[in-house]
Amino acid sequence: MTLIAAIQATSSDDIDHNLETVAGFVESAKTEGAELVVLPECFALMQKSHAQLRACAETHGEGNIQDFLEQLSRELGIWIIAGTMPIRSNDPGRTFNTLLVYDDKGVNLARYDKIHLFDVELAAGEHYRESDYTMPGSRCVVQDTPIGRVGLTVCYDLRFPELYRKLSAMGATSMVVPSAFTVSTGKVHWMPLLRARAIENSCYIIAPAQTGKHTSGRQTWGHSLIIDPWGDVIAKRKAAPGVLLGEIDHGKLERMRAQLPSLSHRRDELFN
């Protein structure tokens, strides 16, 4: 078994404060024995404006946020799957919403740019146009970690099961879903979608989330979860920021996949 942690946060537009808060949570997770920690979407910045997002974006491989992640993972000796942060693209008006993976020596091993962008019109005038300021990613990514091969996804990706099927075919035994789900969609769709992705891919799901009211005025659902391959919730946190701990049981995963070998029953030739 491997102990892992998911961090739930109420990030603001103050990067320094957000990073200080994250550092405290990661230190607590390490003290509890976690070998790997996953941060939520927008852990470093919940921007007040698109202009602030662009101004705070970093070049991949350099910048204060990335220096912080490198130092924290190295000094604590812990793997960090870093929710998302803004990374510059070739379009000056749009940044990538990027997840980075650091090993316990502070080495950045993987990058995933959020593929699916949240362009929706919800009830009561609530609307989002993520594509106005975000460049979509174009690559599916898995990374070997202490808990096996991890598929990397972010928030709105959760609604696209074909992505998770692809990551499963790439060997993922766990998937991360760092998120900033809205309250209106979170209260009805968050749990069912996460459990479905775990069940249909016989994998662990680790879903750290933003929670509460942010300085931008936005409200997020929280309810971070860790779910096993049978679809059972093994750890959850409701509204408060903090650390969520859960064990990844490799033997349990192998037994579940042997008992119900749906992955080997796929008829890919009919659907590709």
Catalytic residue numbers read 41, 114, 155
Which residue's entry shows tokens 């080495």? Answer: 107
Closest to 143 (Cα-Cα) out of 105, 180, 103: 103
How deeply is 247 buried, as exposed, middle or buried, from its count of CB atoms within 10 A (0-12, 13-18, 19+)? middle
Q: DSSP letters of 9-51? A: B---S-HHHHHHHHHHHHHHHHHTT-SEEEPPTTSS---SSHH
| Residue 225 CB coordination number (10 Å) | 25
| Per-residue exposure over 147-177, b if at least 16 CB sit within 10 Å of its own CB, e if not | bbbbbbbbbbbbeeeebbbebbeeebbbbbb
Closest to 111 (Cα-Cα) out of 145, 76, 87: 87
